[in-house]
Amino acid sequence: MNKKNLREEIILRSGVNPKKCMKCGKCSATCPAYDEMEYHPHQFVNMVDTGDIEPLLNSDSLYKCLTCFACVDRCPRGVEPAKLVEAVRLSVIRKQGENHLTANDIPALLDDETPQQLLVSAFRKYTK
């Protein structure tokens, strides 16, 4: 996928308009996982906006975000950085044909305690 399409897709999927950002940094100021992250929330917004998404795809920061939504709550412009992080994350883990498991592998791994609902939502989330 080319750079521009990836940007559009992430914006579409997240419903976030990064142009609304006024670069105040309140998202990063409020972020509890800041020190764990290579790229911080405000950088996420800026990098998606400028289309510099490749480094994000390869960064651990994607998985360090706790999705606590503090940044979403505090952002004075309603940019919702966490949704953007989630959208970038999805574009890594939701690649077509790159499922870590096939459906047939699942039954063997199940234990009886696993709620059905969790399985269904896991499928929904991790396959495409």
Partner 1 sequence: MQRIGVFVCWCGSNIAGTVDVKAVAEALKAEPGVVYSTDYQYMCSQAGQNLIIDAVKEHNLTGLVICSCSPRMHEATFRKTAAAAGLNPYMVEIANIREQCSWVHKEMPVGTEKAIILGKAAVAKVNLNTPLTPGESPVTKRALVIGGGIAGIQTALDIADAGFPVDIVETKPTIGGKMAQLDKTFPTLDCAACILTPKMVDVAQHEKIRIFSYSEVTDVKGFVGNFDVTIKKKARFVDETKCTGCGDCVDKCPMKKNPNEFNMGMDNRSAIYIPFAQAVPKVATIDAGACTMLKKGKCGLCSKVCGAGAIDYTQKDEFIEEKYGAIVVATGFNPISMDKFDEYAYNQSKDVITSLEFERLTNAAGPTQGKLLRPSDGKHPHKIVFVQCVGSRCAACAEKGKEYCSKICCMYTAKHAMLTRDKYPDTEVYVFYIDVRTPGKNFDEFYRRAVEEYGVNYIKGMVGKIVPEGDVLKVQASDLISNKQLHIDADLVVLAAAIEPDKSARPLATMLTASMDTNDFFTEAHPKLRPVESPTAGVFLSGACQGPKDIPETVSQAGAAASKVIGLLCKDKLTGNPCIASANEMMCNGCSSCERVCPYGAITYSDKEFRMPDRTTQIRRVASVNPAVCQGCGACTVACPSGAMDLRGFANNQIMAEVDAICK
Positions in the binding site for partner 1 (CB under 8 A): 20, 22-31, 34-35, 40, 42-43, 70, 74-78
- Return the closest-CA partner of residue 96 out of 128, 70, 73, 71: 128
Min dist CB 45 to partner 1, Å, is 12
Residue 27 or 62: the one with the smaller Cβ distance to partner 1 is 27
Q: For residue 115, count CB atoms less than 10 angstroms from its CB and return exposed for 0-12, middle for 13-18, buried for 19 or more.
A: exposed
Residue 31 or 90: the one with the smaller Cβ distance to partner 1 is 31
Min dist CB 29 to partner 1, Å, is 3
The pair of structure tokens assigned to 24 is: 């105040």
